[in-house]
Chain A
Amino acid sequence: MTAAVLPRPSLVQRLLVVHAGDDAVFDGKFLDLPQWFEPGDVLVVNDAATLPASLPMHVHGVSGELRLVGAPEEGWVVLFGPGSWREATEDRAAPPSVVVGDVVQVANRPVPVLEVSDISPRLVRLALTLDEVLVHGRPVQYSYVPRSLQLDEVQTPYATRPWATEMPSAGRVLTPHLVHALRERGVRVVSVTHGAGLSATGDAGLDAALPLPERYEVPQATWDAVTGAKRVVAVGTSVVRALESAARGPLAGVTALKIGPQTKLSVVDALLSGMHEPGESHFQMMAAFVDLERLRRAVRHAEQEGYCNHEFGDSTLLFRDR
């Protein structure tokens, strides 16, 4: 699939609709999203704002980059070696290895390494603050994007608390205008906050462990709306993770739940997401809605029809069988 390399307006966004029990797929426009829903349906968005989660760092004589995994105060970061975001993460040189007690200069402040993860020696814990991240950080960049992205460009229209380290991109083009149109149709639109984490690090061991545990919060009012819904539509894979975690545990906390083809979904009936391909963890999650064979066919169709993928790409709407 070809990548959409820069932010695009909802006007040009395409929507591929796939039903679990139907061989036919539908090519539509994102702006026509409301027509797929009925009064009583509840659409749930992730209102996490995207942090400027990438900071310059210097350790053992090497200048590199660190990317936050979750909340700055929790301090888990992935270290990247020299080079820049213009190179694909898997082509970047590895950072020097560090041990507990080593000092990393983060934006010119010495910060000690508190912990090194078993998952990967590049996954370490430092003590950072939200303030320093907001002052010195910039958004995680993508090598397929021809210029550096501004923080404003990686936010959803309704973003609030800065919890996500990469943009919850499924809702990027869900404008206030569309939200209003959905509500006029009798669809409720409510929110959760989910700290969506890094999508890829280029480190095979680490990427195999994704998604790492992430914090989430489902407000009681949202949970009430969800339990009373005709159908529940998650805007983004992070919302599926938050709602299915809430169904299995507390309404707020940290979740390690992984969702794949074998997962029996208990609350979410449909997923609005980007275009994902076999091999991505998001594709695995999609398979909880629509079986793998049908998904692969949908991907082939999307390729033939010229759909675009990645953060600024087109959208897929998947309905599971009930």
Chain B
Amino acid sequence: MQTAVITGVSRGLGRAIALTLTNHGVRVVGIARPSVELDGLVGEAGPLFTAIAADVADPDAMVRAAASTFAALGHVDLLVHNASTLGPVPLRPTLDITAQQLAQVFAVNVTGPHALTRRIAGAMALRGQGTVVAISSDAAVNAYEEWGPYSAAKASNDHLYRVLAAENPTVRFITVDPGEMDTAMHAAAIPEADVHTLRKPSQVAKALVTLLGHAETGVRYELEVSP
């Protein structure tokens, strides 16, 4: 693998994946909305890293980001959809979620990312190789109270990837549940959690890179992380 695009790189798992890959010599394009954290990563990750400030919920911005990406990388071997939102926090019962709020969660987790997948996986199909990963969650399979929008979006994306895998035999489409991690998202969802029981994003990022060595298309993986 030479080149990768990661969304949601300003903090948490996405940042850890970007750093792990640049440490492996992979040229990485990282996407997140503009922030000092994103600017900071540019310095930390070094010359193999290029930042694109864009909102993954905006399909047109994703088409433009794809153009910048190809201008920077030439071709893309790996695309990781990691950016995500829970929707309104504190989490609340699904009947308290408006249709607009639900649509925004789907825009960040499913529909906006699909605009980027379209632009990048099409070129992968022509080359006859490439991997697209969507980060999933155990909320995609379990019906936890108050996790309605997020879990519905994650479940829907898992299924979208099974269909993409069935349709595109030469591109690998996988989804990966990273397990519970010590990140800003986890703190926003479950503020009372004991952070010592949570995985470090850097460990999870390494396990993800190992998984990519043997993962099969159309499969949903739950990451094993040895403590």
> A: which residues have CB within 8 A of B?
45, 47, 49, 51-52, 130-131, 134-135, 150-152, 155-162, 176-177, 179-180, 183, 189, 191
Chain A residues within an 8 Å CB radius of B60: 150-152
B119 touches A52 (CB 8 A): no
A-contact 0/1 string along B97-131, CB 8 Å cutoff: 00000000000000000010011011101101000
A45 to B68, CA, bound (A): 21
Nearest-Cβ distance from residue B144 to partner chain A, whole angstroms: 35
A123 to B123, CA, bound (A): 33
A159 touches B118 (CB 8 A): no
B122 touches A151 (CB 8 A): no
Give me 10 other A-B pairs in contact (C-beta within 8 A), A134-B64, A135-B64 excluded: A134-B67, A150-B60, A152-B115, A157-B122, A157-B126, A158-B122, A158-B126, A160-B123, A161-B70, A180-B169
Q: Known contacts A47-B126, A160-B74, A161-B74: does B66 contact A176 (CB below 8 Å)? A: no
Chain B residues within an 8 Å CB radius of A162: 67, 70-71
Pick 13 A–B contacts, CB within 8 A, sort by A: A45-B126, A47-B123, A52-B64, A130-B71, A131-B68, A152-B59, A155-B119, A157-B126, A159-B119, A161-B70, A176-B168, A179-B126, A191-B126
B167 touches A130 (CB 8 A): no
> Which of B59, B71, B167, B168 is in CB contact (< 8 Å) with A161?
B71
Nearest-Cβ distance from residue A61 to partner chain B, whole angstroms: 31
Chain B residues within an 8 Å CB radius of A130: 68, 71
Mostly helix, strand, loop or mixed at chain B's interface? Answer: helix
Q: Is B63 in the interface zone, CB < 8 Å from A?
A: yes
Segment 29-75 of B: residues with Cβ below 8 Å from A: 59-60, 63-64, 66-68, 70-71, 74-75
A189 to B70, CA, bound (A): 20
Q: How large is the interface on B (under 10, 10 to 19, 20 to 34, 35 or more residues)?
A: 20 to 34
Q: Known contacts A161-B70, A176-B168, A177-B167: does B123 contact A151 (CB below 8 Å)? A: no
- The 3 A-B pairs with the shortest beta carbon distances in the complex, nearest first, are A176-B125, A158-B126, A162-B67
Nearest-Cβ distance from residue A281 to partner chain B, whole angstroms: 26
Q: Is B170 in the interface zone, CB < 8 Å from A?
A: yes
A135 to B168, CA, bound (A): 31
B126 touches A189 (CB 8 A): yes
Q: Known contacts A152-B115, A160-B70, A161-B74: does B64 contact A176 (CB below 8 Å)? A: no
> B: which residues have CB within 8 A of A?
59-60, 63-64, 66-68, 70-71, 74-75, 115, 118-119, 121-123, 125-126, 128, 167-170
A52 to B66, CA, bound (A): 12
Chain A residues within an 8 Å CB radius of B63: 150-152, 155
Chain A residues within an 8 Å CB radius of B75: 160
Nearest-Cβ distance from residue A183 to partner chain B, whole angstroms: 8
Nearest-Cβ distance from residue A213 to partner chain B, whole angstroms: 20
B64 touches A49 (CB 8 A): no
Of all chain A residues, the one with the shortest Cβ separation from B115 is: A152
> Which of A51, A158, A183 is in CB contact (< 8 Å) with B123?
A158
Q: Known contacts A49-B70, A135-B64, A151-B63: does B115 contact A159 (CB below 8 Å)? A: no
B70 touches A134 (CB 8 A): no
A150 to B119, CA, bound (A): 14
A130 to B50, CA, bound (A): 14
Chain B residues within an 8 Å CB radius of A49: 66-67, 70, 119
Chain B residues within an 8 Å CB radius of A180: 125, 169-170
B68 touches A159 (CB 8 A): no
A131 to B65, CA, bound (A): 10
A152 touches B118 (CB 8 A): yes
A150 to B70, CA, bound (A): 19
Nearest-Cβ distance from residue A239 to partner chain B, whole angstroms: 14
